[in-house]
Chains A and B, each alone.
Chain A
Amino acid sequence: MGLADFLFNRRKHKNNNKITAEELFQQENISKKYYKSLDKNIKQIQELFEHSFDFTVDKIKLGDTDACVCYLGTMLSKDTLTNKVLNSLHPQNDHPKPKDINSIRDNYFPTVSYEYADTFHTVVWNVLNGYAVIMVDGQGKALSLEIGNIEKRAITEPSTQTIIRGPKEAFTEDINTNISLIRKRIRNPHLKFESFYVGRDTKTHLVIGYMSTITNADILEEVKKRIEKIDIGGVLDSGNIEELISDKSFTPFPLIFNTERPDSICGHIMEGKVALILDGSPFVLTVPSVLTDFFESSEDYYQPFLMSSFVRLIRYMSFMIALVLPSLYVALSTFHQELMPTQLLLSIQAQREGVPFPAVIEIFVMELTFEIMREAGVRMPRAVGQTVSIVGALVIGQAAVEAGLVSNVLVIIVAFTAIASFVSPIYNFSISTRLLRFILILFSAIFGLYGVLLFLIVMVIHLVSLRSFGVPYLAAVAPFNIKEQDDIFVRFPIWANRKRPSYLYPESPMKKKGKNIPSPPPARGGGK
Chain B
Amino acid sequence: MKKRLLFLLCAASVILTGCWDSIELNDIAIVTGMAIDPGKEKKYRLTVGYVNPAQYSKQNPAHGAPVSIMTLEGNSLPEISAKMNVGVSRRLIFSHTRALYINEKVAKEDGVSHFLDSLERSPQFRNDFNILITKNNSASDFAMINDPVERVPSLKVQKSIKSLLKSWGGDPRVRLTDFIDAIIAEGRSPVASTVVIDGDPEKGQNAESNMEVKAPARIMLDGLAVFKKDKLIGYLSLDDTRNYLWTQKLESTMISIPCEEDGDKNNPLYFDIVITNNKSEMKTYYKGNQPQLELNIFSEASINSMQCQKDLSSKEIYTELEKRSDKQIKNMITETIKKVQNDFGVDIFGFGEALNRQHYKKAKKVLGHWNEEFSRADVDVNVKIALRRSGTRNKSFISELPKKDVED
Contact = CB atoms under 8 A, between A and B. Distances in A.
Interface string A446-470: 1110110010000000000000000
A355 B25 CA distance: 10
B53 A450 contact: no
B25 A334 contact: yes
Interface size class of A (residues with CB under 8 A): 20 to 34
A338 B18 contact: no
Contact of A346 (B18, B24, B51): B51
Contacts of A451: 18
Given A346-B53, A454-B14, A338 B93 contact: yes
Given A338-B93, A342-B155, A349-B30, A333 B25 contact: yes
6 contacts: A334-B24, A346-B30, A349-B56, A359-B25, A447-B18, A454-B14
B25 A348 contact: yes
Contacts of B25: 333-334, 337, 348-349, 352, 359
B314 interface: no
Nearest to A358: B24
B18 A446 contact: yes
B95 A337 contact: yes
Contact of B32 (A342, A348, A354, A359): A342
Interface string A316-348: 000000000000000001110110001001111
Given A346-B51, A349-B56, A355 B26 contact: yes
Contact of B96 (A338, A359, A408, A445): A338
Interface centre among B13, B18, B25, B53 (most CB of A within 10 A): B25
Nearest to A401: B59
B21 interface: yes
B332 interface: no
B55 to A, nearest CB: 7
A246 to B, nearest CB: 25
A504 B17 CA distance: 42
Interface string B20-38: 0111111010101000000
Contacts of A448: 18-19, 22
Interface of A: 333-335, 337-338, 342, 345-355, 358-359, 408, 445-448, 450-451, 454
B66 to A, nearest CB: 10
Interface residues of B, number: 30
A342 B95 CA distance: 9
Contacts of A346: 30, 51, 53, 56, 152
Contact of A342 (B19, B26, B96): B96
B385 to A, nearest CB: 38
Contacts, number: 80
A333 B25 CA distance: 6
B54 A345 contact: no
Contacts of A446: 18
Contacts of B24: 333-334, 352, 358-359
Report, nearest first, the 6 A-B pairs whose CB atoms are least far apart.
A338-B95, A350-B56, A447-B18, A350-B57, A334-B22, A349-B53
A125 to B, nearest CB: 51
Contacts of B98: 342
B57 A447 contact: no
B137 interface: no
B21 A335 contact: yes
Given A334-B24, A451-B18, 16 more contacts: A333-B25, A335-B21, A335-B23, A337-B25, A338-B93, A346-B51, A349-B25, A349-B28, A349-B51, A350-B56, A351-B57, A359-B24, A447-B14, A447-B18, A448-B18, A454-B13
A352 B23 CA distance: 13
A303 to B, nearest CB: 40
Contacts of A447: 14, 17-19
B313 interface: no
A354 B56 CA distance: 13
Interface centre among A342, A351, A454 (most CB of B within 10 A): A342
B30 to A, nearest CB: 6
B126 interface: yes
Nearest to B158: A342
Contacts of A358: 24
B63 to A, nearest CB: 14
A454 B152 CA distance: 38
Interface string B275-312: 00000000000000000000000000000000000000
B155 A353 contact: no
A446 B59 CA distance: 31
A291 B260 CA distance: 75
Given A342-B155, A352-B25, A450 B95 contact: no
Contacts of A333: 24-25
B124 interface: yes
A485 B208 CA distance: 63
Nearest to B152: A346
